[in-house]
Structure 1
Amino acid sequence: MASQDRLRFGVDLVTFFHPGFWGVGSEDDVIAYAQAEPEPFWRKLLDSVQQAGVTGVELTFSPFGWEHACATFGSVDAFAGELSARGLQLASGFFAGLEADGDPNDPAVQPAIIEKVSAYADFIAACGGDIMVVGTPLRHSPDIFPARFFDRAAAEKLADLLNRLGAITAEKGVRLALHTEAHSLFANGRDVDLLMLMTDPAYVHMCPDTAHLILAGADPLQVIDRHHERMIIAHWKDALGAMPADTPIGADIHQRHRPYFCGFGSGRVDWPAFMRLLRNRNYEGWAILELDAAADPVTDIANGLKLARQALLPIFR
């Protein structure tokens, strides 16, 4: 199988969240524009993905999510048609509900999470995809006392829910993959190892994000190699280095990640070694290029794709 068939390139739509791309002043204005003019919003978004040269789309939080897409075009089939008309496919859908919807270990919260995951999996399958990427809850801030530990007992509770969610999506033909989000419960090497140990590999897979692993102080190549058999999709992203270990974790943590991210090839990720690892472990699947809220997303993604094809794919072969 040729390398271009074994690796398929896509983009996470968070890349298009920069207000400048939409000609507005803030991210709130982007959301307001998407609500006021949904069809122009989605058509520009999908046209831009096509222009960047990738073939896969990873949906994410609103307004870049599945519910808004379906409401805009009227049905799953209509949205799938918009993708197909541009030569695009649904690579995956990102689910952020474990962080956003309250304590997932609370039995009162879990039914709503299960319902949302089930509906999302139905959409992904109907749209021709087969992967749901899931973010885990954030860690508790290290400056909060009394301390709350992510120990074996806490991991068992979260792993139980993840196993059940993975079984629900699997029944619908969709695989669930945990995303290595910095400052979440699945980012530093120890936490990734713990949840990989506690979850069932038949139902819970992995989506490593190279940049977020670096922000968490982990070596992405070591983490990926330890769990390569669980990797079914990967986020390709570069970072300048680790954030301080005592970084406070609050509602703005995702915004504070952004100064640490950088363009492809200009950060700490050893991309040639990464490609050798994928080659040696016989990886096949989606490579999701991503930048958080890029000012010029089409150019940035096109340049990342050019780097991958010219400098990295020859290694992969």
Structure 2
Amino acid sequence: MTSRDGLRFGVDLVTFFHPGFWNVPDHEAVISYAREAPRAFWDRILDSVQSSGVTGVELTFSPFNWQDAIKTYGSVEGFAEALSGRGLTLCSGFFAELEAAGDFTRPEAQEAIIDKAERYADFLKACGSDIMVIGAPLRQTPGAQPAMFHDLDRAKAIADFLNRLGATLLARGVRLAVHTEAHSIFAAARDVDLMMLLTDPAYVHMCPDTAHIILAGSDPIQVVDRHHERMIIAHWKDAIGPMPSETPIDEHIHDRHRPYFCGFGLGRVDWPAWIRLLRDRNFEGWAILELDAAPDPVRDIAGGLTLVRQALLPIYR
């Protein structure tokens, strides 16, 4: 769906990670099915995106990543044709390598990340997209020892790398947008303000996720309003409230997030205020209706679009 006023709607493919959608018992079985029957797996996803009413696709981690797409359809061109044949557009790609890199301040780690990002950028550009969304490094669990402080010196080291990565991608025609992932160094209001201050707006942009900002205990309307000129894409998602401050931050943190997400319009996001902000700041671009692992994603995405059409787009226009 595209509004007449510059908002285009898409979905992140993590939305299709729920085992119930595939009639299998767990996430491992979803991954197994994707490996055993990749064409049936991807065709069902793309057909479901088409039937839901959105027109954009954001790729994410395996089995929903760009390498899987190429293997399934034989080539970059084959995947592009699978999209265009359904009236779909590749709006963006999520890059999770920074979070998985460990101590990415090491020169060899940075070199590996940049190499992967360059190849991903070339794929995105070939498929008609110019946005790479990147996850930021995770914070440390409060109280863990030895304590690691996200202070000015550490933030400057991260910002320096993001600047250089953004410049590398821009040379390939792709813009870098940092995602406000809860429990990362880019979600709570203070952390977003700090990273936006230290990065160059010519090379580092922002992908606010309304639900993740709420999980971090902040107000997405206020956070985005302060940095609206840096937003080039946004994840529209709802949440029931902030997570406890003592939440362990480890390899299971993304699973711990899921119970705090909820259906579009059923949580804490002030959607009328959100759409007024986008209107008043003249935002035009992709709005990703992301639902982490929804059991009935087509119904949920279509329901979200109905709310958008009936309650929000009249305000935006």
Contact (CA 8 Å) 1:8, 1:55: kept in 2 or not? yes
Which deviates the most, 180-189 or 106-115?
106-115
- Tell me whether 1:241 sits opposite 2:237 in the alignment: no
Question: How far apart in 1 are the matches of 2:251 and 2:45?
Answer: 27
Q: Which residue of 2 aligns with 1:268?
A: 268
Question: How far apart in 2 are the matches of 1:214 and 1:81?
Answer: 38
Structure 2 gaps of 5+ residues are none
Q: Which residue of 1 aligns with 2:310?
A: 310
Question: How far apart in 1 are the matches of 2:264 and 2:63?
Answer: 25
Q: Which residue of 2 aligns with 1:122?
A: 122
Contact (CA 8 Å) 1:143, 1:248: kept in 2 or not? no
The one-character-per-residue Cα deviations of 1:171-206 (angstroms, maximum 9, x if unpaired) are: 111110000000001000010001101100000000
Question: How far apart in 2 are the matches of 1:104 and 1:49?
Answer: 35
Question: How far apart in 2 are the matches of 1:138 and 1:22?
Answer: 30
Question: How far apart in 1 are the matches of 2:216 and 2:4?
Answer: 31
The TM-score with structure 2 as length reference comes to 0.98
Q: Which residue of 2 aligns with 1:185?
A: 185
Amino acid at match of 2:153: A
Q: Which residue of 2 aligns with 1:112?
A: 112
Amino acid at match of 1:253: I
Contact (CA 8 Å) 1:3, 1:316: kept in 2 or not? no
Amino acid at match of 1:288: I
Which deviates the most, 96-105 or 188-197?
96-105
Structure 1 gaps of 5+ residues are none
Secondary structure of 2:141's counterpart equals coil
Q: Which residue of 2 aligns with 1:144?
A: 144
Amino acid at match of 2:158: L
Amino acid at match of 1:63: P
Question: How far apart in 1 are the matches of 2:135 and 2:201?
Answer: 17
Question: How far apart in 2 are the matches of 1:254 and 1:309?
Answer: 30
Question: How far apart in 2 are the matches of 1:62 and 1:143?
Answer: 32
Q: 1:284 to 1:40 in 2, by over 3 A?
A: same
TM-superposed CA distance for 1:5, in Å, is 4.2
TM-superposed CA distance for 1:4, in Å, is 2.8
Identical-residue share of aligned pairs (%): 69
Question: How far apart in 2 are the matches of 1:276 and 1:67?
Answer: 38
TM-superposed CA distance for 1:102, in Å, is 2.1
Question: How far apart in 1 are the matches of 2:110 and 2:297?
Answer: 36
Amino acid at match of 2:295: A
Q: Which residues of 2 match residues 3-22 of structure 1 at below 5 A?
A: 3-22=3-22
Secondary structure of 1:157's counterpart equals helix
Which deviates the most, 175-184 or 246-255?
246-255
TM-superposed CA distance for 1:3, in Å, is 4.5
Question: How far apart in 2 are the matches of 1:204 and 1:247?
Answer: 29
- Tell me whether 1:219 sits opposite 2:219 in the alignment: yes
- Compute the RMSD of aligned alpha carbons: 0.9
Amino acid at match of 1:277: L
TM-superposed CA distance for 1:247, in Å, is 1.4
Question: How far apart in 2 are the matches of 1:40 and 1:204?
Answer: 37
TM-superposed CA distance for 1:101, in Å, is 2.2
Question: How far apart in 1 are the matches of 2:64 and 2:70?
Answer: 11
Q: Which residue of 2 aligns with 1:71?
A: 71
Question: How far apart in 2 are the matches of 1:5 and 1:90?
Answer: 20
Q: Which residue of 1 aligns with 2:153?
A: 153
Amino acid at match of 2:169: T
The TM-score with structure 1 as length reference comes to 0.98
TM-superposed CA distance for 1:132, in Å, is 0.3
Q: 1:87 to 1:3 in 2, by over 3 A?
A: closer
Secondary structure of 1:109's counterpart equals helix
Secondary structure of 2:107's counterpart equals coil
Q: Which residue of 1 aligns with 2:230?
A: 230
Question: How far apart in 2 are the matches of 1:25 and 1:311?
Answer: 37
* Number of equivalenced pairs: 316
Question: How far apart in 1 are the matches of 2:106 and 2:24?
Answer: 39
Question: How far apart in 2 are the matches of 1:113 and 1:141?
Answer: 25
